[in-house]
Structure 1
Amino acid sequence: MASVQAFFDAAAGAPLHPVARQALLAALDDGWADPGKLYTRARRARQLLDAARAATAEILRVRPDEIAFTPSGTAAARLAIEGTRRGRARVGPTLVHSAIEHSSVLYEAGEDAVSVPVDRLGRLDLDAWRAAVSRAASPSPR
């Protein structure tokens, strides 16, 4: 009987999918150059990057220009918070987050962010969430 492996700790990394591994090896062989430059190897790196972005966009059903690759989860979290702040610029600076967010989210959200509690199982208090979001969406008195 064949054994089945399951991996439940993807937050710390996970084994690469065979297709992702193949793409990584191709990038290491052909895509090591700076994709922002114009020489031959750099253009090849740009082609690989653009193909990866297009494939990811197709899977997610978004436009390729909506895909941003980051070097780490921390950088991705910071980019997400920055995008949220820009998207909410007219509403106000207050962001609402759960009390158990990654430290990079807490840092980037800033001191005026509102932290919503979770229960002992990590479930968000939805009433507190609704109230916090409602307060954050209300124009602040000047």
Structure 2
Amino acid sequence: MLTYEEIEKILPESKGIKDAGMSFASIAFTSNEEQPKGLFIQNGEDEDLQAAISNGAIAAVWPSEKELPFYTPNHFPVFLAKGGTLSAAIKILEENCHKVSLEKANHKTWVLFPKTKDHAEPNDLVEKMKQLIQSDENCVDRNGVR
């Protein structure tokens, strides 16, 4: 599973509690789907952090230039992404592709894409992210090890 520390290495600027022991069972690109122990990645118009939290998010990736909702809990970690959350998501997947899956799997973080076609992510980026997750042969960790 992805850990707080692995996300923090990619996105060092954050708000809220810093919890080195935290790990993520899921990554979600939509707030309205169940995301157990989830890392919610805000994108497009989906800014409903409260819904993400209600659906299981324990942390979020948020654009650094966008204000956080006033109700964001102090104990809730928020990683701030400069240059956009989708580019941050791609970097997270590139550097941790061996730890993520498109389906629920033991010891891997499950990546949930929106089920509707009216989502904010461009289809080419979604396809690139899915390819990163599925391509074990091209998967290289931070140390250059396959």
Q: Is the pair's TM-score, using the shorter chain for normalization, greater than 0.5?
A: no
| Short-chain TM bin | under 0.3
Higher RCO structure (Cα 8 Å, ≥6 apart): 2
Higher share in helix: 1
Length-normalised TM-score, structure 2:
0.24
Larger Rg: 1
> TM-score, normalized by length of structure 1?
0.24
